[in-house]
Amino acid sequence: MLEEGLQQLPEVNIETERFEVPKVAGHIQGNKTVITNFGAIVSALRRDQSHFLKYLLKEIAAPGVMDGSRLVIGRKVSSGLLNMKIKEYAEKFVICSICSKQDTVLIEKEGITYLKCTACGSQKEIKL
């Protein structure tokens, strides 16, 4: 009877990572790149939009302006490069290096910025 019961149970899918870094959605318009889901990416990362925007534009070495919830970058940039830079940002400023969860906040003490995890309590100094 026990074997019959076990066979009738549904398969359990175990997800090892609950947070997935958002992918860029957009298009190239002339010599500019338009990211249409920039607002959604920022809200998924749960970080300040100006901080993320400053990091992204510095990393891809291009000017950019916000147009509502869209980001217009002043040159052609591949989606692969943008996705890689967003993932790097998430690993550095969002995901806890101890427990790998997204439940973190950026705090500043005495002029030093820390990534504090609200799940495991760890605190790590980060350079901006």
Rg (Cα) of the chain, in Å, rounded?
A: 19
The pLDDT of residue 5: 74
- Amino acid at the residue 52: F
For the question of whether the overall pTM of this predicted structure is more than 0.95, the answer is no
Residue 72 clears pLDDT 80, i.e. is over it: yes
**Candidate CATH numbers 3.30.565.10, 3.30.460.10, 3.40.50.2300, 3.30.70.3150; the one for domain 22-94:** 3.30.70.3150
pLDDT in tens, 59-68: 999 999 999 8
What's the CA gap between 36 and 39, in Å, rounded?
A: 8
Q: What is the longest distance spanned by two Cα atoms in the chain?
A: 68
Residue 32 clears pLDDT 60, i.e. is over it: yes
The pLDDT of residue 18: 63
Domain ranges (residues) in the chain: 22-94, 96-128
